[in-house]
Chains A and B, each alone.
Chain A
Amino acid sequence: MTATIDAGTRRVTTAKAISEGIAQEMRANPDVFVMGEDVGPYGGIFGSTGGLFEEFGSTRIIDTPISETGFIGAGIGAAVEGMRPVVELMFVDFFGVCFDQIYNHMAKIHYESGGNVKVPMVLMTAVGGGYSDAAQHSQCLWATFAHMPGMKVVAPSNPYDAKGLMISAIRDDNPVVFMFHKGVMGLPWMAKNPRSIGPVPEEEYTVPIGKAAIAHEGSDVTVVSLSISVQHCLDVAEELEGTTSVEVIDLRSVVPLDRETILASVAKTGKLVIVDEDYKSFGLSGEIVATIADKDPSLLKAPVERVCYPDVPVPYARVLEYEALPTRDKIKAAIAKVTA
């Protein structure tokens, strides 16, 4: 399900896959443009716009002042008038200075207008921790965005999906919040899982928004995850091959949430572990459990284990941060517990 076409043998980073997807859409459609802080000659702090400025210049790759309310609002206005902006919010943590534009305008205009005004815009943003950037630069927050109606929310775990989801996001007539984890970008200056570099076709292709992937098939336990945590889950699933058969579901998007794929897998395994780097309470993991409780609680043959970010701000010191982060050891322990 992950690969709809042959991915070929070329291997690129997620950052390169994203910028390549944007570039291909920009070549095809003059209404697509990019704006944000340091998206120009710098190429995006996390590489999401690498090489675009050189090809498209300053009229289509627009470096903005530090003015998130201003330029996200400008993205909305441009989208309302028929353009397809890709706007970067450098860190998702910065949403606090501009959320009115995001949830009161970007997300609501289509509904408020009774469907008469579309906002075809991508809000691209870096999420996640693991590199000691502390409380204001390390959060995931996808459930915060997902909680507010009107935005699609995607979070790829690998280069192939990142490119296909970005192309889908740009073509979508709705606002799409595209959340890339810094740890999956394949950055040369940050420790990374080898899964952050992978096969990506050179041609354009789409990955549908709202369809989860079975990233690893299994029958003993369902592990639902997204973004960088999928990489950890796959490492664990491969390590446990021969002892425990682990089914890893990569949600790929939080909105829409592919509840059917989750339910079908839990119906098969009866055991559920949720791995989510976002905060534990009032969020995605609870929503997944509610999905099963709403449909048929008897699907579960054991209590659910949630490996999530505990309800604390992200601490700075490595030992503190890794105490809180979802890790392979915690995922293994959770799988052991539900399958015991």
Chain B
Amino acid sequence: MVDNDTRVDFYRQMVRIRAYEAALQANYHADKTPQWDIGAGLIPGEMHLAAGQEPVAVGLCANLVKDDAITGPHRPHHLALAKGVDINKMTAEIYGRDTGLCHGKGGHMHLFDPEQHFSCSGIIAEGMPVAVGQALAFSRKGTDNVAVAVAGEGAANQGAFHEALNLAAMWKLPVVFIIEDNDWAISVARDTATPIKDGSLRGTAYGMPSQRVEGNDVEMIYEACKTAVERARAGGGPTLLEIHTVRMWGHFEGDAQAYRGDELNEANERDPIPAYEKRLLSAGLLTEDQAAQIKAEAEAEVQAAIDFATSSPEPKPSDAYLHVFA
């Protein structure tokens, strides 16, 4: 069971992630004027934000330690923040600064933090075999660390997903596969791409314990991940969790989402953070004042990270030639 302090902490972390995504969204669009240009502004390029998916990151990472690994997808900020990636360095990376995690070489889809064993890949499902290899290394080195591969429901139709599951099950490796089912692969609805309602059946097909988690509830997600992580840590092999979550915003910023119709309104009504806040308020675990303070603190931390990023130097142009080889 989740204790009361942990509940408030879950809330705090989700609010922090949302504050981060909201600030990036505002700043991303702020200087793409007068004519919207994806490559313009202080944050150039594609931007995939994870509003609505905070419960997955928070519920998962509450079960992980620093030396556990995560490979994330193209939509990685919630996972990185929950895993403990330094918010200043991560923001500086997204702003393309020399002080960034990757000295401005990676950008928002390619965040690498070896200290937290965090990485992500912009290629759908292709981070999943890498997590299998991290788990293989953990197991060969005799640690009890766990590797987690996170991908969207669209990724579960990609070959790399199936190959990763098969290998991890065959070798009984400490991997947790998390599918974030946010109902949409860009504009393609889950129902038109995946013929089964319950994607966890695919894990069963590879001989591993599997579960679909409905509700986008941070506590239920935490419990499901706890079981999976503990099993992996104890040598019990991999687990597949398909977690039904929600994509509240566009696939990328600038996505008009005409394809969603009324579903978009419904999705925003499924915002997990006000719902959880209400629960904590009615349970007497949180007051309105405390909630406001938590939000203010999160916004201040995010603003400080953005200030760090925007006051950091850009990389030297000639640094483009560094780091091809070690």
Q: How far is the CB of A16 from chain B (nearest CB, A)?
A: 27
Interface centre among A59, A71, A110, A114 (most CB of B within 10 A): A114
Give the CA-CA distance A81 to B170 in the complex, in Å.
21
A112 contacts B by Cβ under 8 Å: yes
CB atoms of B137 and A114 under 8 A apart: no
What is the number of residues of chain A that contact chain B, defined by CB distance less than 8 Å?
41
From A78, A114, A116, A152, B133 is in contact (CB under 8 Å) with: A78
Q: Does B28 contact A (CB under 8 A)?
A: no
* Nearest residue, chain A, Cβ from B107: A112
Q: Determine if A74 is an interface residue (Cβ-Cβ < 8 Å).
A: yes
Whether, in the assembled complex, A57 has its beta carbon less than 8 Å from a beta carbon of chain B, the answer is no
CA A105 to CA B112, docked complex, whole Å: 12
Please state if A59 and B140 are interface contacts (CB–CB under 8 Å). yes
A69 touches B147 (CB 8 A): no
**Are A114 and B103 in touch, CB under 8 angstroms?**
yes
CA distance A152 to B324 in the complex (A): 10
Nearest A residue (CB) for B129 = A73
Tell whether, in the assembled complex, residue A113 and residue B106 are in contact, meaning their CB atoms are under 8 Å apart. yes
Count, chain B residues at interface, CB 8 A: 44
Residue of B112, B123, B137 touching A82 (CB-CB under 8 A): B137
| Residues A73 and B130 in contact, CB atoms below 8 Å apart | yes
Query: In the complex, A82 Cα to B142 Cα: how many Å?
Result: 13
Which of B131, B159, B160, B322 lies in contact with A77, CB distance below 8 A? Answer: B131
Instruction: For B138, list chain A residues within 8 Å (CB).
Output: 81
Complex-state Cα separation, A33 to B139, whole angstroms: 13
A106-117: CB near B (< 8 Å → 1, else 0) gives: 000111111111
CA distance A73 to B71 in the complex (A): 12
B207 at interface by CB-CB < 8 Å: no
**Which A residue's beta carbon lies closest to that of B147?**
A77
Judged by a CB distance under 8 angstroms, whether A193 is at the interface is no
Interface membership of A173, Cβ < 8 A: yes
Q: Are A110 and B326 in contact, with the CB atoms below 8 A?
A: yes
Residues 54-70 of chain A, each 1 if its beta carbon lies under 8 Å from chain B, else 0: 00000100001101011
Find chain A residues with CB under 8 A from B163 CB. 65, 67, 69-71, 73
Q: How far is the CA of A149 from the CA of B159 in the complex (A)?
A: 25
Q: Given A110-B325, A115-B322, check contact A74 B126 (CB 8 Å).
A: no
Q: How far is the CB of B14 from chain A (nearest CB, A)?
A: 28
B129–A109 touching, CB < 8 Å: no
B100 close to chain A: CB less than 8 A: yes
The reply to whether B132 and A73 contact each other, CB–CB distance below 8 Å, is: yes
Establish whether residues A111 and B324, one from each chain, have CB atoms under 8 Å apart when the complex forms. yes
- Asked if B61 is an interface residue, CB under 8 A from chain A, the answer is no
The listed residue (B114, B136, B324) touching A116 by CB distance below 8 A is B114
**Is A67 a contact partner of B136 (Cβ separation < 8 A)?**
no
The residues of A that contact B326 with a CB separation of less than 8 Å are 110, 115, 118, 120, 173-174
Q: Is the CB of B164 within 8 A of A81?
A: no
Is B305 an interface residue when CB atoms closer than 8 A count as contact?
no
Residue among A33, A69, A150 with max Cβ neighbours from chain B (10 Å): A69
Chain A residues, CB < 8 A from B306: none
B244 within 8 A of A: no
Considering the chains assembled together, what is the distance between the CA atoms of A107 and B102 in angstroms?
A: 16
Contacting residues of chain A (87-140) with chain B, CB-CB under 8 angstroms: 100-101, 104-105, 109-118, 120
Contacts of A100 in B (CB 8 A): 123, 126, 160
B325 adjacent to A71 (CB under 8 Å): no
Residues 104-138 of B at the A interface (beta carbon under 8 Å): 104-106, 110, 112-114, 117, 119, 121, 123, 126, 128-138
Complex contacts, A174 vs chain B, CB 8 Å:
325-326
Question: A70 touching B112 by the CB < 8 A rule?
Answer: no
Contact of B167 among A74, A85, A101, A173 (CB under 8 A): A74
Contact A71 B167 (CB under 8 A): yes
If A70-B166, A73-B128 touch, whether A114 touches B105 (CB-CB below 8 Å) is yes
Contact with A72, one of B104, B105, B129, B136 (Cβ below 8 angstroms): B129
Kindly provide the distance from the CB of A88 to the nearest chain B CB, expressed in whole angstroms.
Answer: 15
Flag whether A76 is at the interface (Cβ < 8 A): yes
Kindly state whether residue B316 has any CB partner on chain A within 8 Å: no
A75 within 8 A of B: yes
Residue of B with least CB distance to A107: B324
| Bound Cα distance from A240 to B252, whole angstroms | 65
Return A91 CB to nearest CB of chain B, in Å. 18
> When A78-B136, A104-B126, A112-B105 are in contact, do A73 and B112 touch as well, CB less than 8 Å?
no
B101 interface residue per 8 A CB criterion? yes
Complex contacts, A267 vs chain B, CB 8 Å: none
Contact residues in A for B298 (Cβ distance below 8 Å): none
Residue of B nearest to A97 (CB): B159
What is the CA–CA distance of A71 and B166 in the complex, to the nearest angstrom?
Answer: 10
| Residue B323 lies at the interface, judged by CB distance under 8 Å to chain A | yes
Residues of B within 8 A of A77 (CB): 69, 71, 129-137, 147
A-B contact pairs, 30 of them (CB 8 A): A69-B163, A71-B163, A72-B129, A73-B129, A73-B132, A74-B130, A77-B134, A77-B136, A80-B114, A80-B119, A80-B134, A81-B133, A81-B134, A82-B141, A83-B137, A100-B123, A100-B160, A105-B123, A109-B112, A110-B324, A110-B326, A111-B323, A112-B102, A113-B106, A114-B101, A114-B104, A116-B101, A116-B113, A117-B112, A120-B326
Closest 9 CB pairs of A and B: A77-B133, A73-B129, A70-B163, A114-B103, A74-B133, A113-B112, A81-B137, A114-B102, A115-B323
Using a CB–CB distance below 8 Å, which chain A residues touch chain B? Answer: 33, 59, 64-65, 67, 69-83, 85, 100-101, 104-105, 109-118, 120, 149-150, 152, 173-174
